[in-house]
Structure 1
């Protein structure tokens, strides 16, 4: 029987009628099962019915916009199809679906991210497994990057202090968990309008204190302009590696400052970015004290 034969459509109509009757008149438990099956069938056929190229992953998230296209991973702005909420989703590029090192790093990133809850750390919400086996990290959506803001306008001294207070508070929480971020830069600092609420993102190459990146088959990891000398040469890392990056960040921010020179901030930038780790502040809490800001500890849920 062909699809254009009248009997074909009559049979479809009869089956739909029986389904509709079962959905309306059958036992509650049976109706719930049928409703779930109908929704699943519609979900599977949605791609053929939609006029958009928007891809759906895990039958729940619509990938709306590609916001980062890296050599091995991609980050999308995604919308939950039922709740309408926005999220960031990080996943390996399709050609890296079978990369065991990348898979291991992403699962570590998910594990670390979900263990940290702090006002100045971007939240990792869950990890999905796609149909082709790739992991996908679901994170809170934060609109803006500090790197982009620096290309748009200068910062006031107050804004610089807000950024550094947020960064050092977030680092204090990361270090208190026995971890080192290892990739602090304006690319990984996110905010939604208010720099006082800026958050540290991207824990993809974070390490436990005392570890080296070569343990994960990474010859070099980090941003060249911000990575500490000891991290660059493959030595074991500790929290002072992140303080070096914070010092480099502060120097960069001061070069974008719209106000008068602040000798106290300049001195702190120099102290944080000393080549010898022993010459830097002992920890992020000490650096925050030098800056004059409060420390916020991790929040447990």
Structure 2
């Protein structure tokens, strides 16, 4: 079967691109409204970014000419998280990005940009901050977040907790959840793996990873996801795909409290009762919101910032 020579292919591509460019820059005669024209321009830029990156030999250890990737700290099925250092400031950051083989996944791209929008909106001492969104050379989005090197999951393996430490942890968690819920979101993935700190001060724990967060009243199937979260911490309504509100996070907080008490060197009847209340299977039997749960815990302690 005959095939047109490569030069002919390039000429056809150039001709079509020229026609598209003229259509996008037709001034008053432009057939597209401004919003559509901007969307098309963005898509062209995105396609050129992806193609150029596959032809270039840029250093994969440098992101946006500003961050040096120092270590891979999480290698998931579809995303990776690196510890990165800013080349000029010397500051440490966490950078989350899709795995290279998922560079062309439009669903993952949409979810990550949505995660960035949520993370940038939330500002609280007990929430890990999202600082910026970058576009990598191949078009992948990359989320720049504050660096918090210690996970609660690791801390639990080091030594037993005291009841006061358990209260400090839960105060941090419930205070962060109160801010998330006040902004209209449900975290949906609360666990010791997503509770981070920059030092050993348990009162400064921060909730991280908003990759599967939802607006209150929504369900994951609206994003073509059958289930999202950690099965061992998910509420019954999350497991069955029902619309979620903040009480779903309180269920996870109750399971977290039960886990902390199993690592506590002393028993505490009041904390055990609170754990049972938070993790009631029927959301109507849980506290109405995180502020009410904080009140049952004893209220947030004063912290000097």
TM-score range, shorter chain: 0.7 to 0.9
Deviation, structure 1 residue 45 = 9.7
Verify: 1:86 aligned to 2:92, yes or no: yes
Residue deviations 1:189-210 (CA, integer Å, cap 9, x gap) = 0012200010000011000000
Question: Aligned partners of 2:103, 2:208: CA distance in 1, in Å?
Answer: 23
Structure 1-normalised TM-score?
0.80
Residue deviations 1:25-70 (CA, integer Å, cap 9, x gap) = xxxxxxxxxxxxxxxxxxx9995xxxxxx70011110000100000
* Aligned position for 1:30: none
Matched residue pairs, number? 246
* Aligned position for 1:273: 279
* SS, match of residue 78 in structure 1: strand
Deviation, structure 1 residue 183 = 0.3
Within a 5 Å distance, the mapping from 1:141-180 to structure 2 comes to 141-180=147-186
Deviation, structure 1 residue 156 = 1.2
* SS, match of residue 73 in structure 2: strand
Q: Is the 8 A contact 1:285 1:295 kept in 2?
A: no
Distance 1:150 1:173, change over 3 A: same
Verify: 1:213 aligned to 2:223, yes or no: no
Runs of 4+ in 1 over 4 A off after TM superposition: 44-47
The equivalent position to 2:205 in structure 1, one of 182, 198, 211, is: 198
* SS, match of residue 162 in structure 1: helix
* SS, match of residue 151 in structure 1: coil
Larger Rg: 1
* Aligned position for 2:132: 126
The equivalent position to 1:223 in structure 2, one of 217, 220, 230, is: 230
Within a 5 Å distance, the mapping from 1:35-184 to structure 2 comes to 47=59, 55-184=61-190
Deviation, structure 1 residue 152 = 1.8
Residue deviations 1:161-214 (CA, integer Å, cap 9, x gap) = 000000000000000001000000000000122000100000110000000101
Deviation, structure 1 residue 294 = 2.0
Question: Aligned partners of 1:292, 1:191: CA distance in 2, in Å?
Answer: 23
Structure 2-normalised TM-score?
0.79
Residue deviations 1:204-242 (CA, integer Å, cap 9, x gap) = 100000001011111110111100000000000000000
Question: Aligned partners of 2:138, 2:158: CA distance in 1, in Å?
Answer: 40
The CA RMSD over aligned residues, in Å, is 1.5
* SS, match of residue 152 in structure 1: coil
Deviation, structure 1 residue 154 = 1.4
Question: Aligned partners of 2:224, 2:96: CA distance in 1, in Å?
Answer: 21
